[in-house]
Amino acid sequence: MIDDFDLMPREEAFDPFSVVLFKALQVVAFLFFIALVIVAPKADNGKVDSKAEFLISMDWPDNHPDDMDIFVQDPLGNVVWYRRREAGFMLLDRDDRGGLNDFVMVNGSKVPTATRQELVSIRGFVAGEYTINVYHFTALTGRAVPVTVTLQKLNPKVTIVGKETLEVVDGGTEKTALRFTMDDKGTVTKVERTPKSILQTFYNPRANGAKP
Residue 197 maps to which CATH number? 2.60.60
For residue 140, the model assigns a pLDDT of: 87
Question: Which residue has better confidence, 170 or 97?
Answer: 170
Cα separations in angstroms, 43 against 35, 40, 47, 52: 16, 9, 9, 21
120 in any annotated domain: yes
**Domain residue limits at 27:** 10-39
Do 192 and 102 sit in the same domain of this protein? Answer: yes
Q: 130 with 188, same domain?
A: yes
Q: What are phi and psi of 4, to 5 degrees?
A: -65, -20
What gap in Å lies between CA 154 and CA 140, rounded to an integer?
Answer: 35
Say whether both 115 and 152 belong to one domain: yes
123 plus 33 within the same structural domain: no
Q: Distance between terminal CA atoms of the chain?
A: 105
Residue 111 lies in a domain: yes
Give how far Cα 92 sits from Cα of 42, 69, 78, 98, 209, Å: 30, 11, 13, 16, 14
Domain count, the chain: 2
Whether 126 is covered by a domain: the verdict is: yes
Confidence of residue 33 (pLDDT cuts 50, 70, 90): low
User: Residue 201's pLDDT is what?
Assistant: 76
Q: Tell whether 126 and 35 lie within a shared domain.
A: no
Give pLDDT tens digits for 12-32: 454 555 555 555 556 556 555
Indicate whether 47 belongs to any domain: no
User: Does residue 162 sit in the same domain as residue 65?
Assistant: yes
Q: Tell me: the pLDDT tens digits for 117-163?
A: 999 999 999 999 999 999 999 888 888 999 999 999 999 999 999 99
Same domain, 66 and 34: no
Looking at the fold, whether 69 and 27 belong to one and the same domain comes out as no
Q: Mark whether 102 and 169 lie in a shared domain.
A: yes
pLDDT at position 181 is 98
Same domain (yes/no): 123, 93: yes
Q: Could you tell me if residue 46 is inside a domain?
A: no
Q: 3-class SS at 96?
A: coil
pTM: 0.69
Q: What is the mean pLDDT of the chain?
A: 80
Query: What average pLDDT does the segment 88-104 reach?
Result: 79
185 contact partners, CB below 8 Å, separation of at least 6? 125
